[in-house]
Chain A
Amino acid sequence: MRVVLAEDLFLLRDGLTRTLREHGCEVVASVDNGPALVRALAQTDLDVAVIDIRLPPTHTDEGLKAALEARRSRPGLPVLILSQYVDQLYAHELLASGEGAVGYLLKDRVTHTAQFIDALRTVATGGTVMDPQVIAKLLTRSEKRGRTDSLTPREHEVLTLMAEGRSNTAVAQALHISESAVAKHIASIFGKLEIEQSPEDNRRVLAVLAYLKG
């Protein structure tokens, strides 16, 4: 995988580069500010971009803006945004910037290397990955509105992991159940919430997120 990396703190940039290399990724460009990122996203041949949301010169949401801008001119350009904070507004903006190939994670998730690399691969192959905090907030909102009352506790867990962008295999591992059990739960969830089932993973995640946002 060819990765463009944007991170202004040297220590983190260095650490991330090492982690990525260890997992067979090639860091084709490594930048530490917004304008350089914009150039890299426009010109580099890449499979996925890993971007810290807060970059010089403004130290605000420079990274997010560059990513959204790049996805406007290169639709479907895979980007994974990292941030010290997750904000629902930014999650909505990323989800609205095209179907899939997008991720939004808290920075500390990179310490769980395996999961981080998994997420990176999902995004690179057109999938959608949202931080558990984003999903937790969406779920609390849906619960308070009584939109997920019909689900069993187990189905609730499956829904949460599915919305985060995990594959059936990953969900099965996390909950210590079989993949066929996961598939059964998912079918039941879609039936109860009246969401249209899709055989394709990313469409499924997007449908669930759309339901939770609504």
Chain B
Amino acid sequence: MTATPAQTRGGWVHLGRCQVLGLSGFLVVGAGVLVGGALALVPLGVGFWLLPPAAGLLRRVSDRYRARATRWTGRPLSPPDPLPHGTSARRGSAAILGDDGFWHDLRWAWLEPWTGGLLAAVPLALVEYGAFGALVQPFVWRRLGDGNWYAFVPVTSTPTMVTALLLGLALIAAGLRLAPVMTALHARLTHRLLSAPRSTELTRRVARLTDTRAAAQDVHAAELTRIERDLHDGAQARLVALGLTLDEATRLLGTDPHRARTLLLDVRATSERALQDLRDLVHGIHPPVLADRGLADAVRSLALDSHLDVAVDARLPPARLPAPVASAAYFAVSELLTNAAKHADATRVDITLTHDGTRLRVSVTDDGHGGADTSAGTGLLGVRRRLDTFDGTLALHSPPGGPTTATLEIPCASSSPKTSSSSATA
């Protein structure tokens, strides 16, 4: 059995964690017993007074386990809702008795000492018994005499002592190897038992969907208002002006053809401006290049529009992404590029686009001075709100001095394109 120094160090860390789990198991037992006692006393009335503090203690203990599981695995664990309070002891207790989270905690408190405790005990026992064989037996075997056994080895002579020593070392190594496995198992168990009950998860999900739906509707309504106003102030106004000028030109045709000609040239210029207004408007709604070519080429087009040095590395499947997702990602990249140019004094930006079959991942890294904050800029806030609708996320890593990396992820499967198109790039 060979192990790198890092693995061995990791083994000791995990062994320490097993020790912590073994010791805090007593706390769990204590809290579990207290709550059990309080429950037993409920029919007598006293329990109403005892249950809220006992349940509170149990929640504190379970919260400590939750925090630990999150810290050790790096995987956040969704906590249950806080324990309910009542105006009176009776009401408080009744509320606690009706709370899913409380019963979940209690179930865990009775299971944890058996399952978790056992998992933590195995590597501890192996290492401790191994230490006895390797570190204690060599010094005491002479004194213990004939009846001295270490595991299946009768330690009565130097060769058997060496055997015991080696066996002890092997057991320590096995314990260290096993410790990470056991802590991982324990973490999975904790996740399963201590995560918020399914009903709570669903309630939260519904609340979140309600929020994001409302936000999406707001964004949608604001967008429509903007389009209406842009049309009204832009193209529509120009077309009215165009009609008026045409009318005047028509009147002047007979009397002052020279002036009529000037007016007609005006009409042409106005029609061009109206077209440009419409073009800009359409570009803001859905950029043609995105519709034509899909996300990768649309981002390449953004790169060419930016005055920064932008390198695009797109590794997307040939099938198209869902249009709303592509659009959200496009406008997010556009906003991030603008930010890099405006606020970060960047000169170079690297964009990567990847899709792993279930989620689109876009990262934008600039060489600017960093220190960006999503809560500060309204632009980034808008990006985040837009991504929310898709359960997408925007992570910003921007230490002072740079570089800034923004990573956005949107869960989505890629669909087959509605039209046959393959993209060719220069």
Contacts and interface: CB of A to CB of B under 8 A. Distances in A.
Nearest to A140: B307
A88 B279 contact: no
Given A88-B301, A145-B307, A60 B275 contact: no
B426 A60 contact: no
Contacts of B421: 58, 60
Contact of A92 (B268, B293, B304, B420): B304
A58 B419 contact: yes
Interface in B151-167: none
A191 B10 CA distance: 66
A60 B419 contact: yes
Interface string B279-295: 10011000011011100
Contacts of B291: 60
A96 B306 CA distance: 20
A180 interface: no
Q: Interface extent on B, as a size class?
A: 20 to 34
A156 interface: no
B104 interface: no
Given A57-B419, A84-B288, A111-B268, A65 B301 contact: no
B367 interface: no
Contact of A87 (B271, B289, B420, B424): B289
A90 B289 CA distance: 9
Q: Interface extent on A, as a size class?
A: 20 to 34
Interface string A105-125: 000100100000000000000
B211 interface: no
B268 A93 contact: no
A176 interface: no
A98 B353 CA distance: 29
Contacts of B297: 89
B292 A61 contact: yes
Interface string B235-263: 00000000000000000000000000000
Contacts of A65: 424
B250 to A, nearest CB: 19
A111 B288 CA distance: 23
Contacts of B282: 85
A85 B279 contact: yes
A111 B267 CA distance: 12
Given A65-B424, A85-B279, A141 B300 contact: no
